[in-house]
Amino acid sequence: MSEKKTEIRNFIIENFLFGNANGLKDDTSFLEEGIIDSTGVLELVTFLEETYEIQVDDEELIPENLDSIDNVAAYLERKTA
C-alpha cells in the first residue's frame, strides 16, 4: 500500500469510523456505505488540501475522485504529478 493510501485510510478511520476499520477496503464507497456525508466530503477535501498542498477545484468534487481510498489516491497522483 502506498504511503498516500495509508494516510488517507488512517484519516478516514480516525475521523469517520471512530478507529474501527472493520470491513473498510480500498474500493469501499464512502457514500454508498454511509461513511462520509456532504459535510464529511468537505472535511476530506480540507485534509487533502492541507496535507498535500493542493487545491481541489469545484468541478473535481465528484465521486470518481473522492468516493473511496482508491479513488482519492488516484486523484492525488493526478494532481501531484
- 1 has pLDDT over 80: no
What digits encode the pLDDT tens for the residues 44-71? 999 999 999 999 999 999 999 999 999 9
Cβ-count burial of 72 within 10 angstroms (0-12 exposed, 13-18 middle, 19+ buried)?
A: buried
- Residue identified by cell 487545491 is 55
The residue extents of the domains of the chain are 3-17+29-80
The pLDDT value recorded for residue 56 is 98
**Per-residue DSSP letter, 32:** T
**Out of 1.20.1250.20, 3.40.30.10, 1.10.1200.10, 3.30.1360.180, which CATH number does the structure's domain 3-17+29-80 have?**
1.10.1200.10
Angle, helices 38-52 vs 3-16, to 10°: value is 140
Q: What is the pLDDT of residues 11-34, one digit of tens each?
A: 999 999 999 998 999 999 999 999
What confidence tier does 81 reach under pLDDT thresholds 50, 70, 90?
confident
